[in-house]
Amino acid sequence: MDEVLLDGLTDAQRAAVTCDGAPLCILAGAGSGKTRVLTTRIAWRVATGSADARHVLALTFTRKAAGELRRRLGGLGVRDGVAAGTFHAIAYAQLRRRWADQGVQAPTLLERKAGLLARLAGPRSTGDAAVQPADLAAEIEWAKARLIAPAQYEAAALGAGRTPPIPTPSMATLYERYEQEKRSRGLVDFDDLLVRCVEAMHADAEMAAAVRWQHRHLFVDEFQDVNPAQAALLAAWRGSSSDLCVVGDPNQAIYAWNGAEPSFLVDFARRARRRRRRAPAASSGSCRRG
């Protein structure tokens, strides 16, 4: 069965699937079968006994992509046990479990920022075009993806050359009012889920140990699209483990407008070496081109 998994793969894909490096970064260009390599690597590791499907966490960026990961894994014989989902979905599931265990009232998830922002912003316009609440929401999402608080927003936006939908000082004020309104109403948005989960992992050693025990083998598809908030969460989930495999192509980054940072992929090996110097038990990064 093990060798059957490799049928139809190129030599480079086979090398990426069977490589024993950890952590492992697989750089693969457009059309090279990144997702196929990732799912086949998961199936290969399960088949060879180097990973337990019940402890695999496969991450991606949309619900559709997560469904595709599950479909492909099922086609490779890995039908049960693997957790596959978006960063936000996995974080939310962990937070809900923690809130339930603590017996605390879970905050209400604000699924769309636009309505709340429209009310807070009131009638505004720039030039001849009315400001769209969705544009205000997108700017806040950019800031939160990059872990930029309202007090830091103005300087960060200027430094990044941002052109927000309203003047930068006004955008900073609106961002602060938005955060205050959420707190007063017991709301969290999708971006909050990532930060809240990171904070919980750092504050709750029991939760961190349980999560890291459950998700021992980490895999990330389209890693060029990870943003600083997601990278912080991945680091919290990973802890001191070196069992991480990421796949991506820096030339295919599609979420830079929303805070994604392709340097997490490009600098993977350097970051892994630096991590190893801080924690000698960890393995150095390794890259193969698929």
pLDDT digits (tens, 9 = 90+) for 112-160: 999 999 999 987 544 446 789 999 999 999 999 999 999 999 999 999 9
pLDDT recorded at residue 290? 40
The pLDDT of residue 10: 92
**What does the pLDDT read at residue 255?**
64
Does residue 219 have a pLDDT over 80?
yes
Task: Quote the DSSP letter at residue 166.
Answer: S
More confident residue, 276 or 181: 181
Asked, as a colleague might, if the bond just before 150 is cis with ω within 30 of 0, I would say no
In the block, residue with structure tokens 């604000």: 110
Residue 195 has a pLDDT of 96
| Better pLDDT: 164 or 276 | 164
Does 289 score more than 50 pLDDT? no
pLDDT of residue 24: 94
- As a whole number, the mean pLDDT across the chain is 89
**pLDDT value, residue 262:** 77
The pLDDT of residue 38 is above 90: yes
Q: Minimum mean pLDDT among 46-50, 71-75, 248-252: which range?
A: 248-252
How confident is the model over 71-117, as pLDDT tens digits?
A: 999 999 997 789 999 999 999 999 999 999 999 999 999 999 999 99
Over 60: is that where the pLDDT of 285 sits? no
What mean pLDDT is predicted for residues 32-58?
94
Residue 276: per-residue pLDDT: 63
For 123, counting Cβ atoms within 10 Å of its Cβ (0-12 exposed, 13-18 middle, 19+ buried), the class is exposed
Query: Residue 99 class from Cβ within 10 Å (0-12 exposed, 13-18 middle, 19+ buried)?
Result: middle
Stretch (H or E) spanning 289: strand 286-289
Question: Could you tell me how far CA 260 lies from the centroid of its own chain?
Answer: 9
